[in-house]
Structure 1
């Protein structure tokens, strides 16, 4: 149980750090190189989306480590496939929770943290996109 909590907290902090640096760097590049408008907004969406994929991959690696060490596992689908674990991670990160693959054992704790972290980080990305769109609509 302690190992699961440590893995979860580590990945939660790592994903949050990746997101912070990705969004701050992305914002700096967009505002320095693009005028407010469609292209700035599209760059924000694509950049934030790429950050989210990396963050979901971090959680998938955490699930794979927990699966290989016996701390948790999965039922449904082909849990021996890393692509299925990554699929679960993406679905869980976005809080969809389709249920065709589900975690067992202590992996359930990591799944809960991932869902919470995904919700928070997606909200930050939405804020950035809203800000970029607002700048393009703003009339001086």
Structure 2
């Protein structure tokens, strides 16, 4: 159980660090783009979405490796054991949609809960970042 907790913490910390680094780089890059100022927001949105996708795939890889390990749980339901299905489950968990066609069993439940909480926090962080960027660039005529 201690090893599962450490793995879960590592995955969450990795997602937060990835998000921080992506937003920091976007914040530094956007003012220097030689494009119409409103396209900076589009670039910011696309950059943030790319960060979220990387984070989701990180969780998906963790699910996949934990399932392959064998004794840390599995995903049940409409799940065929592929990395692609792990990514689908991760996207629905990260965004807190949770369609319910795949559900965690065993110790994977803990990572699933942490992913939903992490996704909520990181999506909110992105919304705040984009709000500040819109205030900065939409006021420019």
How do 1:99-110 residues align onto structure 2 when only pairs under 5 Å count?
Answer: 99-110=100-111
Q: Report how far residue 38 of structure 1 moved.
A: 2.2
Gap runs ≥5 in structure 1: none
Indicate the residue corresponding to 2:73 in structure 1: 72
Taking the aligned partners of 1:91 and 1:34, their CA distance within structure 2 comes to: 36
Normalised by the size of structure 2, how large is the TM-score? 0.92
Indicate the residue corresponding to 1:128 in structure 2: 129
Normalised by the size of structure 1, how large is the TM-score? 0.93
Conservation of the 8 A alpha-carbon contact between 1:34 and 1:40: no
CA RMSD, 1 decimal = 1.6
Indicate the residue corresponding to 1:25 in structure 2: 25
Q: Report how far residue 137 of structure 1 moved.
A: 3.2
Taking the aligned partners of 2:37 and 2:130, their CA distance within structure 1 comes to: 11
Indicate the residue corresponding to 1:81 in structure 2: 82
Asked if residue 137 in structure 1 is aligned to residue 120 in structure 2, the reply is no
Closer, same or farther: CA 111–92 of 1 in aligned 2, 3 Å: same
Q: Which has the higher contact order (CA 8 A, sep 6+)?
A: 1
Gap runs ≥5 in structure 2: none
Aligned length: 140
Indicate the residue corresponding to 2:114 in structure 1: 113
